[in-house]
Amino acid sequence: MNDRKIIKGRVLSFSDNPFNHYFNFELLSIDIKCIYVKNGQIEFIDDTPDLNPEYENAERIDHGDYVIMAGFVDAHVHYPQTAIIASWGKRLIDWLNTYTFPEEMRFGDAEYAAEIAGRYIEFALRNGTTSMASYCTIHPESVEAFFTAAADRNMCVAAGKTCMDRNAPVGLRDTAKSAYDDSKALIERWQGHGRAHYAITPRFSPTSTPEQLEALGALWSEHPECLMQTHLSEQTDEIVWVRELFPDARDYLDTYETFGLLGERGLYGHAIHLEPREMDRLAEVGASVAHCPTSNTFIGSGLFNTAGMMARGINPGLATDTGGGSSFSMLSTMAAAYEIAQLRGVALHPAQLLWLATCGSARALYLDDQIGNIAPGMAADMVVLNLASTPEIAQRSARAEDVWEEIFPTIMMGDDRAIAATYVAGQKV
């Protein structure tokens, strides 16, 4: 028996990228529509709930004047850092050594990994995030825990074993061979299994020897269907360290390019302090970057250039960077992205912020044919927004003269109270 639903509300979908210079924001409307869902996918969208006789007995859900849009897509998270989010102080390297590495040591315990994976995913869903790309730890158990927790909820996710064979505690190091072997086994186990997508995951150049980077580059060439995620140019002192470790490299990106870790399905986290050559190469190969605004401000990394990336033809996704980021909420992340852009002299439109958190992030994960928008053929992964979720937001949105003025207070001040419902593959979770 087919599972059919008709979900009604004010629907926001994108037919074009609002960063395109010719985009007309006045033509982007949010109108009452009916979303016809069949077996977890959006079959079509229409103005009436009585269009198709096949849906005569379908479940009908009316969200009134709440806004229905694609579920948020978080392009860069570290689910093992859930329990240490909002830890005080430190620059990147100190933060890793003081908080991250001791916590990640615990993920060889399959029960603990499963507990944190489940906890993280519940936090994400409560905040309207239906998909994400996560780093795990060096332990295969951590990858199994995350993919299993996501599969239990039928979520579309990407993740991979984090690989490190130097500049990390002994208990968090693998080798070039074990990184290759473990990752290959996990690819065979999870890539394309249900809605799971594997991401080959060197943490960043400083924690991998050239031998390990070369092994992972070889693995990616054998499995080009996989994502490859890593970090790039997050902090200036990190870049100095990379120069010391790779004295022959032209720049930070070259430490990946040399070993076959630059390509179309590459996703590079942070990417704040880039050289012109690095930006040119990212654009040339069709790579993506992950903008992590709350993390960048929390540990003082710098100001990401969203508009500059778009102008160069580099696609940015938006990300919480849990737990270097200070929130599980993509609404808070959009607010931080707006503020960082303002410091760069650009006022991002609400439609651009929402696009980054959905279509843009889905494109950064190379999954924009499956998730990130309300359109026929897409998965029915959706979030329902209450634009008057608190008295403070309600009194401001009530004065709005257009829909974008109505929605912007929720972006800037909203939290999980603004999430009226979250759907994964058509099922309310």
pLDDT tens per residue across span 265-318: 999 999 999 999 999 999 999 999 999 999 999 989 999 999 999 999 999 999
Question: Domain boundaries in the chain?
Answer: 4-70+373-428, 72-364
**For position 2, what pLDDT does the model report?**
65
Q: Given a cut of 80, is residue 419 above it in pLDDT?
A: yes
CATH of domain 4-70+373-428: 2.30.40.10
Task: Report pLDDT digits (tens) over 195-204.
Answer: 999 999 999 9
227-249: average pLDDT: 97
Task: Report pLDDT digits (tens) over 330-377.
Answer: 999 999 999 999 999 999 999 999 999 999 999 999 999 999 999 999
**For position 1, what pLDDT does the model report?**
45
Percentage of the chain modeled with pLDDT above 90: 89
Whether cis (ω within 30° of 0) applies to the bond prior to 108 is: no
DSSP state of 357: I
What's the pTM value of the predicted model, to 2 decimals? 0.97
DSSP state of 360: I
d(CA 12, CA 238): 40
Give the closest residue to 83 by CA, choosing from 118, 34, 54, 50: 118
**For position 53, what pLDDT does the model report?**
84
Largest Cα span, the chain: 68
68-73: average pLDDT: 98
**For position 89, what pLDDT does the model report?**
75
* CATH architecture, domain defined by 72-364: Alpha-Beta Barrel (3.20)
139-156: average pLDDT: 98
**For position 212, what pLDDT does the model report?**
98
98-102, 173-177, 361-365: lowest mean pLDDT where? 98-102
Q: Is 145 helix (H, G, I), strand (E, B) or coil?
A: helix
**For position 95, what pLDDT does the model report?**
77
Say yes or no: do domains 4-70+373-428 and 72-364 share a fold.
no
- Per the rule left: phi > 0, alpha: psi between -120 and 50, beta: everything else, 39 is left
